[in-house]
Structure formats: C-alpha cells, structure tokens
Copies of this chain bind each other. A is one copy, B any other.
Amino acid sequence: VSTVSTVSPESRAPRLIAVDWGTTSCRLALLADDGTIIGRRDDGPGILAVPPGGFPAALDRFVHGLAAVDTPILLSGMVGSRQGWIEAPYVPCPAGLQALVDRLVPLDLGNGRRCAVVPGLSVETTWPDVMRGEETQVFGVLARSGAGAGQFVLPGTHAKWLSVRDGRIADFASYMTGEVYAALRGHTILARLMAVEAQPFAASAFARGVALGAAAGGPGALLNRVFSARTLALFDRLTPGEGADYLSGLLIGAEVAAATAETSAAAVVTIVGSDALTQRYAAALAGLGRAHIVAAPDAAAHGALAIARAAGWL
C-alpha cells in the first residue's frame, strides 16, 4: 500500500466511521481528520435485511475490528426511516449543515461510544417530497469543493435533484426514473422487444431516446412516447440490442429536461455518483447542451465528516 508522504501520521489516525445505510445496502468508510479514507466495507446488510431489534448487533458486527472502540460513528440514509433503526424526523428545506447537526438523533450503544443518525430532508410543494442520505452526500460534495450553490443530481432508483443556495439545500425533487425503467423494461410489452442478455451500451440509441424524452410536451406525453420503443422496433428502426438503452435515454432525457427547465442555461449541474448510471446522466446532460461535472467519489463519507466536525465530534 503506497502512502502520501506529506501527510503526517497524526492526520491519518482514524477519527470517524461514516455509515451510508440504505434499504438494500450498507457501506462504511473509516476517515482520518483530513478526509483521507483509511478503510472501507460495503457488505453490511440493507435495513430490510435486519430483523426487528437487530440494528445494534448488525452495526457492531459491521464495524468490528475496524478502529478503536471509541471511534465515533455517524449513520445516514434509510437507517433513519420508520423501517430503520430509529425514525429521525425530516428537517424541512431550506436546510444547511447546522440544521442537520442540530437535529442529529443520538443512539446509545451502551458503551459510551458516540453514535448518531443524520436526519433526512423534506420539502412541501403541492405534495411532500423526502430524501434520506442524499443530503449527506451533497454536503460532502460542498465540503470538498468549497462551493455553496448549484444544482446537483444523484441518479438512482429514485433520482434526486437538489438546488443549493447560500450553502443550504433550498429545494429538491425526486424522480422515480430508475424504478419506472425497471418496471417498463421488465413488466410491459416492451420487454419482448429488448434483448435479455447484457449488451454493449448503445450510445446512439440512448441519444435518440434523450432527444425524444426531452422534447416539449406535457407530463402525459411521456405515456405516449414510451410506446415509440415498441413501434420503432416493429418497423426495424430499433434493434433488440438498442431497445433498453433507447428507453433509458427517453426516461432520463425527460427527467433531465424537467429538472433543469427553470435552471439558467449557463448553470453547471454536478452529478453525484459513481456507477454506470452517472455516465448516462452525463451523456444526457451533454446531449441537451447542459454543462456538468461529476463530483469526486466518497461524497457520503465526506458529508458525514463535515457533519461530525460541525457537531464538535472532532
């Protein structure tokens, strides 16, 4: 293992365990004071896999042997939901880092070790929207970049778009794009027209989908346009190997256009994520003429560190 020689040993001491605990996954990062990630684990149980009352033991197993037993632990994500360890009430937007610190929900692990859950955020328009975990990631990006404003997208099953102003999360919106894609691709007539086996990414079919998805029209136009994945295949203008990426582009293109409709054309969208989906969002934003950058990885860990520091934990 190579080391960076300009970092003093003291700054590399483990200071925080940041756990990003979601519905179906559980990841941790062991952080030093300067943000260096000293260790990682990504094989913890998602909250749905933890039996009732089993969270203390699950956490204990997951962090076992990782650092001194008094290293503080900060949890973010769905672990703070009604189905999780303890329900951390949503903090309404606009919300800055301090609002999260003020509303941390402490957990007594029985051994004096510091541990808390980061609350999620809510926002109310004509209906309430919620998130858990993404707020920590975005504060991590802000802490690393020094930025205090901008638009951020976190692709996923339920993609989140956040607007940050004056260092606070001012507003956000969820898009069920990933889950709608999976439902359409797996459980409608479109499934029959798409190759079952993995295909190389069909970039041009994706781009065609983005363009149609983003074109002007009302919300219901999407219900019409998804049918094009069928008819283009019927007329041999889309191959079975292209169908899934075309549909993906259509949905992501619609999402990106809707989420950026009121954003200045000159604004830069920051994509937060690390998987293949990140590249699809980058391609969609590029196709729609939107400047964008991909944030540095480990946003959740860096967000937890920023929160722990603001809370006076280190």
| Residue total for A at the interface (Cβ-Cβ under 8 A) | 52
Question: Which stretch of A148-156, A215-223, A299-307 is in the interface?
Answer: A215-223
Question: Within residues 29 to 83 of chain A, which ones have a CB less than 8 A from any CB in chain B?
Answer: 82
Q: Are A219 and B187 in touch, CB under 8 angstroms?
A: no
Q: Is A258 an interface residue (CB 8 A)?
A: yes
Question: Which stretch of A7-15, A99-107, A121-129, A273-281 is in the interface?
Answer: A121-129
Q: Are A220 and B213 in touch, CB under 8 angstroms?
A: yes
Q: Are A174 and B128 in touch, CB under 8 angstroms?
A: no
Q: Is A168 an interface residue (CB 8 A)?
A: no
Q: Is A158 an interface residue (CB 8 A)?
A: yes
Q: Are A222 and B224 in touch, CB under 8 angstroms?
A: no
Which chain B residues lie closer than 8 Å to A256 at the CB level? 220
Residue of B whose beta carbon sits closest to that of A227: B174
In whole Å, how far is A206's beta carbon from the nearest beta carbon of chain B? 16
In whole Å, how far is A311's beta carbon from the nearest beta carbon of chain B? 27
In whole Å, how far is A277's beta carbon from the nearest beta carbon of chain B? 14
Q: Are A234 and B130 in touch, CB under 8 angstroms?
A: yes
- Specify which of B129, B174, B180, B219 is in contact with A219 (CB 8 Å cutoff): B219
Which chain B residues lie closer than 8 Å to A158 at the CB level? 189, 227
Q: Are B257 and A176 in touch, CB under 8 angstroms?
A: no
Residue of B whose beta carbon sits closest to that of A175: B223
Q: Are A258 and B182 in touch, CB under 8 angstroms?
A: no
Question: Within residues 133 to 191 of chain A, which ones have a CB less than 8 A from any CB in chain B?
Answer: 158, 173-177, 179-180, 182-184, 186-189
Instruction: Give the CA-CA distance A221 to B176 in the complex, in Å.
Output: 10
Q: Is A232 an interface residue (CB 8 A)?
A: yes
A238-273 interface mask toward B, CB cutoff 8 Å, 1 = contact, 0 = none? 000000000000010111111101000000000000
Instruction: Give the CA-CA distance A258 to B225 in the complex, in Å.
Output: 11
In whole Å, how far is A264's beta carbon from the nearest beta carbon of chain B? 17
Q: Are A224 and B257 in touch, CB under 8 angstroms?
A: no
Instruction: Give the CA-CA distance A2 to B298 in the complex, in Å.
Output: 78
Which chain B residues lie closer than 8 Å to A98 at the CB level? none
Which chain B residues lie closer than 8 Å to A130 at the CB level? 231, 234
Residue of B whose beta carbon sits closest to that of A218: B258
The winner among A213, A218, A226, A253 for most chain B CB atoms within 10 A is: A218
Instruction: Give the CA-CA distance A165 to B28 in the complex, in Å.
Output: 64
Q: Is A282 an interface residue (CB 8 A)?
A: no
Q: List 12 A-B contacts (CB under 8 A).
A: A128-B237, A179-B188, A179-B189, A180-B184, A182-B187, A215-B219, A218-B257, A219-B222, A220-B222, A220-B258, A222-B222, A222-B223
Residues of A within 8 A of B (CB): 82, 126-130, 158, 173-177, 179-180, 182-184, 186-189, 212-228, 231-232, 234-235, 237, 251, 253-259, 261
A sample of 20 more A-B contacts (CB under 8 A), given A82-B234, A129-B228, A182-B188, is A126-B212, A126-B215, A127-B212, A127-B231, A127-B237, A128-B231, A130-B234, A174-B224, A174-B227, A175-B224, A176-B227, A180-B180, A180-B226, A183-B184, A218-B219, A219-B225, A220-B253, A220-B257, A222-B223, A224-B258
